[in-house]
């Protein structure tokens, strides 16, 4: 990483001026990782990595010297901040490390090296712990999801159904197309049944683990009469822009679980009436909503 080369080059002058290694005072560590980041090393793993780089364990809980380290998210990546402070005095130095990916493994290795050099500038990382290379930007990936939902006001009564989704994710951007099929809903004491079949396109912003989307749904409401004379079947179009918001939970490997709410505002609605259009059984409400859960896999 460019910042690692700069840091090591800046410290090389310190090494040249100190042919003998002075004793290193004990030090304490304060370490914080933003809760939405799940792949960073915990405090035990980080201190072990620093110990391996130094060749000894410098930690003492009540030491006057303290290293403050934190990792936070940025737009499409991560940032780590390291600061060394003695007693209540001013900071003795700080470093900021940036990764262009939300995967924290390589940044964690770089963070351990930065802490080791802050504690002991004469430390020489062993061959078993090479300096990490600059993380490559995350590649675009396909994401497939399948799930179930419960919908209100999308049909004449509360109903549920299943859906499929295929999308393309890159950094904080996610584009997808989805298809859904709802179970039949009855109206007018069972004389009429209707179910929804449709699809949607989405454009989403991702801020791991949260996401928010704008979408356009185009559906057909299939209505059919039951147990009445001259019953017929009709397909009625519904067009509705809307929004989606929720969160994703990483499971194992490429698998994740998404839970979200969706709100649609129909601009083209449907009316269910009798054959002569004299009795109205149901019409599309001004808004509909659904709660959904998806099992997703990245490719």
Which has the minimum average pLDDT: 60-74, 124-138, 166-180, 242-256?
124-138
Q: Can you list the domains of the chain with their CATH numbers?
A: 2-119 (3.40.50), 141-298 (2.40.160.20)
What does the alpha-carbon distance between residue 248 and residue 207 come to, in Å, rounded to a whole number? Answer: 10
The strand pairing partners of 146, in sequence order, are 164, 295
Distance of CA 274 to the CA centre of its chain: 48
Q: Helix or strand or coil: residue 144?
A: strand
Per-residue pLDDT, averaged over 54-74, amounts to: 86
The C-alpha torsion from 104 through 110 and 115 to 117, rounded to 10°, is 180
How far apart, in whole angstroms, are the C-alpha atoms of residue 164 and residue 157? 22
Distance CA 22, CA 45 (A): 27
What is the per-residue pLDDT for 9? Answer: 40
CA distances, 104 to each of 70, 77, 97, 116, 298 (Å): 12, 9, 12, 18, 18
User: Residue 104: is its pLDDT beyond 50?
Assistant: yes
Block residue for tokens 């499971």: 251
What is the rounded average pLDDT for all residues in the chain? 82
Instruction: Give the model's pLDDT for residue 138.
Output: 57
The answer to whether the beta carbons of residues 43 and 31 sit under 8 Å apart is yes
SS3 state of residue 269: coil
* pLDDT exceeds cutoff 90 at 64: no
pLDDT grade, residue 122 (50/70/90)?
Answer: low
* Residue 24: predicted pLDDT: 66
**Which sign, positive or negative, has the C-alpha torsion 239, 243, 245, 248?**
positive
**DSSP string computed for 181-219:** EEPPEEETTTTEEEEEEEEEEEEEEEETTEEEEEEEEEE
User: What percentage of the chain carries pLDDT values higher than 70?
Assistant: 81
- Average pLDDT, integer, range 166-193: 87
Query: Cα 207 to the chain's mean position, in Å?
Result: 5
Tell me, what's the pLDDT at 213?
97
Is the full-model pTM beyond 0.85? no
25 or 53: which leads in pLDDT = 53
- pLDDT of residue 182 exceeding 70, the answer is yes
User: Does residue 210 register a pLDDT over 50?
Assistant: yes
Q: Alpha helices of 18-88 — where are they, by DSSP H?
A: 43-54
Say if residue 277's pLDDT is above 50. yes
CB neighbour list of residue 116: distance below 8 Å, 6 or more residues apart: 50, 53, 54, 123, 125
Q: Six-digit token pair at 178? A: 């989805």
Q: What angle do CA 232, 238, 239 make, to 5 degrees?
A: 160
């Amino acid at each position: 990483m460019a910042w690692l080369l700069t840091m090591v080059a800046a410290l090389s002058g310190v090494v040249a001026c100190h042919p003998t290694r002075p004793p290193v005072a004990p030090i304490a560590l304060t370490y914080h990782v933003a809760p939405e980041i799940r792949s960073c090393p915990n405090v035990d793993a980080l201190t072990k990595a620093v110990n391996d780089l130094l060749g000894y364990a410098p930690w003492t809980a009540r030491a006057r010297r303290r290293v403050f380290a934190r990792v936070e998210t940025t737009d499409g990546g991560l940032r780590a901040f390291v600061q060394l402070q003695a007693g209540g005095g001013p900071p003795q130095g700080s470093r900021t490390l940036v990764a262009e990916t939300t995967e924290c493994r390589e940044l964690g290795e770089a963070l351990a090296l930065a802490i080791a050099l802050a504690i002991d500038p004469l430390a020489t990382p062993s061959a078993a712990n090479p300096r990490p290379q600059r993380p490559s930007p995350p590649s675009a990936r396909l994401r497939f999801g399948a799930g179930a939902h419960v919908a209100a006001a999308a049909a004449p009564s509360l109903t549920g159904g299943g859906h499929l989704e295929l999308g393309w994710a890159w950094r904080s951007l996610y584009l997808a197309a989805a298809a859904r099929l709802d179970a039949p809903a009855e109206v007018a004491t069972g004389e009429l049944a209707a179910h929804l079949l449709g699809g949607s396109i989405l454009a989403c912003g991702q801020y791991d683990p949260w996401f928010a989307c704008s979408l356009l749904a185009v559906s057909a409401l299939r209505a059919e009469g039951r147990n009445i004379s001259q019953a017929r079947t009709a397909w009625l179009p519904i067009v509705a822009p809307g929004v989606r918001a929720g969160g994703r939970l990483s499971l194992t490997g490429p698998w994740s679980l998404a839970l979200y709410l969706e709100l649609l505002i129909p601009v083209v609605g449907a009316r269910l009436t009798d054959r002569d259009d004299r009795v109205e059984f149901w019409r599309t409400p001004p808004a509909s909503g659904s709660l959904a859960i998806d099992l997703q896999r990245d490719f």
